[in-house]
């Protein structure tokens, strides 16, 4: 790879079409940026204004390695919004419709951040590090600025900042063995969505049993930016007996497991009820939260759209880089948002949104793609169950 550019393949028009993404000073480089390049990262993207590793090998090879072994993914764009202060717990509850009354110190929760009209602004993992100390491990959007704006008018005593924390994920069925070798047998007892403080020597880490892979895995939150190269190499060395390799958590496995991607599968125009995420809403809690009145109205009225899975007929289709129309006859009824070819299912699978009257399993749609029309059938989600449970 050249020293100052990243090349990637576009799926628009001709599959051989290429583009160049220059590395620039104005876009953040994470603690693992240099290590990722040194270990052969072939593709980068920009996520939360940060260069993030997207792939080290052929995507299908990375997929099989993830589900059979263990992958090391420097998830550099997974930024933290840190909220502290005497009113931190009350302020975090204001941001999300999920009831946090039972979120203990040391626990994490998958939450939504909703707008006043009930739309989804972000779907972070919330980590409670202390009684009034929280991280929002955010998807790609300006939630730091949103939270600061809300704080201006909330009348609460909080401090909101972007701490110097970089995330690297250890994911796959053998991840537990790698982590036990590094941190001792007690790591095996770490429950799903719980966190612990740890370290490799004097490298300061917070560890959670979470990840964006649909597989068993862990996330390591590095608190010292200057130790990124060292941590990356020590993790790889510990993973050698288990064939751990640098990689990504796989678009294919994400779609199989129906993990939603903000900006692709859900936007601020989509509400939690349409997305099947109503389990994350508690309208009966006494606390107020942004969007509460709107979500109550949406629930009472019912939704007109629904998130669906699709099995798409025919040969392998390249991944989409924009939403594709879903048609019933000559009527556009929805959008295809994320597409992948699943090697183990032997077919194209996708996530999308369609009109509620066409969302039942078995309903036929037509997908309009740059490669021609394809027939598709609504399928139950997930296509393949997630292994990251507990």
Q: What is the pLDDT of residue 153?
A: 95
> What architecture is the 5-78+165-254 domain classified under in CATH?
2-Layer Sandwich (3.30)
Q: State the average pLDDT over residues 204-221.
A: 96
Asked whether residue 13 carries a pLDDT value surpassing 70, the answer given is: no
Distance, CA of 34 to CA of 26 (rounded, Å) = 16
Determine the straight-line distance between the first and last CA of the chain, rounded to whole angstroms: 40
Query: Which pLDDT tens digit goes with each residue over 28-87?
Result: 999 999 999 999 998 999 999 999 999 999 999 999 999 999 999 999 999 999 999 999
Q: How confident is the model at residue 198 (pLDDT cuts 50, 70, 90)?
A: confident
Q: What is the pLDDT of residue 18?
A: 63
What are the residue ranges spanned by the domains of the chain? 5-78+165-254
Q: How confident is the model at residue 389 (pLDDT cuts 50, 70, 90)?
A: low
Q: What is the pLDDT of residue 11?
A: 38
Total length of the chain: 390
Nearest to 5 by CA among 17, 19, 16, 14: 19
Asked whether residue 17 carries a pLDDT value surpassing 70, the answer given is: no
Nearest to 366 by CA among 322, 336, 321: 336
Q: What is the pLDDT of residue 243?
A: 97
| Contact of 309 with 300, CB cutoff 8 Å | no
Tokens matching residue 302 = 């019912």
Q: Give the number of other Cβ atoms within 10 Å of residue 139's Cβ.
A: 24
Q: State the average pLDDT over residues 102-118.
A: 98
Instruction: Return the bridge partners of 202, or none.
Output: none
Q: What is the pLDDT of residue 12?
A: 39
Q: State the average pLDDT over residues 267-281.
A: 98
Q: How confident is the model at residue 120 (pLDDT cuts 50, 70, 90)?
A: very high
- Would you put residue 118 in left (φ > 0), alpha (ψ -120 to 50) or beta? left
Q: What is the pLDDT of residue 95?
A: 98
Query: Which pLDDT tens digit goes with each residue over 158-173?
Result: 999 999 999 999 999 9
| Contact of 311 with 349, CB cutoff 8 Å | yes
Tokens matching residue 276 = 């099947």
Query: Which pLDDT tens digit goes with each residue over 305-362?
Result: 999 999 999 999 999 999 999 999 999 999 999 999 999 999 999 999 999 999 999 9
Q: State the average pLDDT over residues 264-285.
A: 98
Integer angstrom CA distances of residue 213 from 65, 216, 252, 339: 12, 8, 9, 16
| Contact of 356 with 303, CB cutoff 8 Å | yes
């Amino acid at each position: 790879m050249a020293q100052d550019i990243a090349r990637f393949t576009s799926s628009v028009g001709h599959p051989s079409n290429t583009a160049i993404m220059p590395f620039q000073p104005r876009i953040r480089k994470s603690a693992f940026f240099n290590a990722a390049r040194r270990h052969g990262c072939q593709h980068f993207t920009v996520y939360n204004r940060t260069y993030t590793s997207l792939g080290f090998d052929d995507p299908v090879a990375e997929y099989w390695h993830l589900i059979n072994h263990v992958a090391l993914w420097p998830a550099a764009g997974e930024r933290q919004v840190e909220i502290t202060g005497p009113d931190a717990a009350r302020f975090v509850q204001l941001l999300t419709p999920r009831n946090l009354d039972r979120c203990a110190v040391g626990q994490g929760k998958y939450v939504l951040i909703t707008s006043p009209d009930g739309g989804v602004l972000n779907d972070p993992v919330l980590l409670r590090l202390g009684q009034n100390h929280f991280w929002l491990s955010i998807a790609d959007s300006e939630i730091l600025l949103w939270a600061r704006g809300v704080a201006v008018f909330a009348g609460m005593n909080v401090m909101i900042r972007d701490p110097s924390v970089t995330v690297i994920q250890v994911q796959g069925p053998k991840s537990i063995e790698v982590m036990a070798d590094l941190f001792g047998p007690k790591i095996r007892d770490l429950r799903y969505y719980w966190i612990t403080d740890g370290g490799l020597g004097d490298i300061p880490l917070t560890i959670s049993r979470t990840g964006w892979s649909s597989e068993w895995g862990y996330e390591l939150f590095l608190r010292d930016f200057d130790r990124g190269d060292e941590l990356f190499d020590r993790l790889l060395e510990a993973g050698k007996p288990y064939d751990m390799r640098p990689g990504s958590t796989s678009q294919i496995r994400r779609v199989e497991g129906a993990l939603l991607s903000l900006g692709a599968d859900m936007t601020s125009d989509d509400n939690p009820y349409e997305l099947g995420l109503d389990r994350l809403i508690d309208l009966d809690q006494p606390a107020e939260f942004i969007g509460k009145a709107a979500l109550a109205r949406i629930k009472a009225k019912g939704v007109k759209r629904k998130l669906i899975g699709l099995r798409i007929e025919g040969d392998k289709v390249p991944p989409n880089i924009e939403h594709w129309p879903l048609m019933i006859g000559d009527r556009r009824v929805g959008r295809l948002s994320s597409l992948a070819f699943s090697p183990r299912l032997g077919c194209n699978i996708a996530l999308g949104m369609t009109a509620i009257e066409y969302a039942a399993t078995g309903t036929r749609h037509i997908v309009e793609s740059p490669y021609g029309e394809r027939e598709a059938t609504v399928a139950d989600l997930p296509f393949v169950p997630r292994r990251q449970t507990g």
